[in-house]
Chains A and B, each alone.
Chain A
Amino acid sequence: NAGVMQNPRHLVRRRGQEARLRCSPMKGHSHVYWYRQLPEEGLKFMVYLQKENIIDESGMPKERFSAEFPKEGPSILRIQQVVRGDSAAYFCASSPLLQGSATGELFFGEGSRLTVL
C-alpha cells in the first residue's frame, strides 16, 4: 500500500525558470494539501485541494504560484519565474474522504526540495 508519492525529490532551477512538483496521494485519499518548509522553520500551509476543486488557498502567494488536482493524475504545484526565496522543501499530504468523521490526521510524502540558483 503505497504512501504519498512526491516527485521529484530534488529539483534545481535557475531564477526565472518554472518548477513543477507532483504529488500522488495515498490510495483512497481524495484530499491533498501542500505545505512549504523554509530552512529552520516549521511547515506553512499553502493550499488544500480535492479533485478538480481548490478548497482553501489562503496560504498561497498571490503571484507565480498555482496548484491543481485534476480528475486524473497527480496534484501539481507550479511555481513560475522562480526566485531564490522559493528555495524550500515542499511537502504534500493527503487524507481520506471524511464520511462524517474527522480525525484530522494527514499523511505526508517525503517532500520535494527545490533549490533556486
Chain B
Amino acid sequence: AQSVTQLGSHVSVSEGALVLLRCNYSSSVPPYLFWYVQYPNQGLQLLLKYTTGATLVKGINGFEAEFKKSETSFHLTKPSAHMSDAAEYFCAVSGEIGAQKLVFGQGTRLTINP
C-alpha cells in the first residue's frame, strides 16, 4: 500500500523567494510520484512526474522535484516565486503497474506575498 505525507498544510513565501513544498511517501514497490496543482474552483493539473530514470525532474511553470529514495521524499521547488503560483499543491504516489490509482497527500496551500 502507498501513502503520502505533505509537511505543512499552508506555506507562505514572498514573491521572488524560493518555494519548497515537502512530500514524503511510503510505498512497498518502486513508486511513481506526481505533483499536481489546483487553482481555485478548478480541477487538478499535472506539474511533473517521476517514473524511472533521472531523479531530478522538471515540470511546467519553472517547478522541479527530486526523487530521493533514501529519504523517501519528493520535494517540490521553484527558485523564484511568482504571484500566479498561489494555489493548492498535491503530491501523489502510484506504485502498481497496470493500476493507475493515485494516492494523494492532503495538500499544501501556497500563498505568495507581494
List residues of A whose CB falls within 8 A of some B CB: 4, 31, 33, 35, 41-45, 48, 55-56, 91, 93, 95, 98, 102-111, 113
Q: Report the Cα distance A44→B90, complex, angstroms.
A: 12
Q: Are B45 and A108 in contact (CB under 8 A)?
A: yes
Interface residues of B in 39-90 (CB under 8 A from A): 41-46, 49, 51, 90
Q: Report the Cα distance A57→B27, complex, angstroms.
A: 20
Given contacts A56-B99, A103-B49, contact A42 B43 (CB under 8 A): no
Q: Are A42 and B94 in contact (CB under 8 A)?
A: no
Q: Report the Cα distance A57→B73, complex, angstroms.
A: 28
Q: How far is the CB of B77 from chain A (nearest CB, A)?
A: 20
Question: How many residue pairs bridge A and B at CB < 8 Å?
Answer: 65
Q: Are B100 and A42 in contact (CB under 8 A)?
A: no
CB nearest neighbor in A for B93: A104
Q: Report the Cα distance A60→B100, complex, angstroms.
A: 17
List residues of B whose CB falls within 8 A of some A CB: 32, 34, 36, 41-46, 49, 51, 90, 94, 97-107
Q: Are A48 and B49 in contact (CB under 8 A)?
A: no
Q: How far is the CB of B31 from chain A (nearest CB, A)?
A: 9
Q: Are B43 and A109 in contact (CB under 8 A)?
A: yes
Q: Report the Cα distance A105→B41, complex, angstroms.
A: 21
Q: How far is the CB of B33 from chain A (nearest CB, A)?
A: 9
Q: Are A108 and B34 in contact (CB under 8 A)?
A: no
Given contacts A55-B99, A56-B99, A103-B32, contact A42 B49 (CB under 8 A): no
Q: Report the Cα distance A48→B101, complex, angstroms.
A: 7
Contacts of B34 in A (CB 8 A): 104-105
Q: Report the Cα distance A104→B52, complex, angstroms.
A: 12
Q: How far is the CB of A44 from chain B (nearest CB, A)?
A: 8
Q: Are A104 and B51 in contact (CB under 8 A)?
A: yes
Contacts of B99 in A (CB 8 A): 48, 55-56
Contacts of A91 in B (CB 8 A): 43-44
Q: Are A42 and B106 in contact (CB under 8 A)?
A: yes
Q: Are B100 and A106 in contact (CB under 8 A)?
A: yes
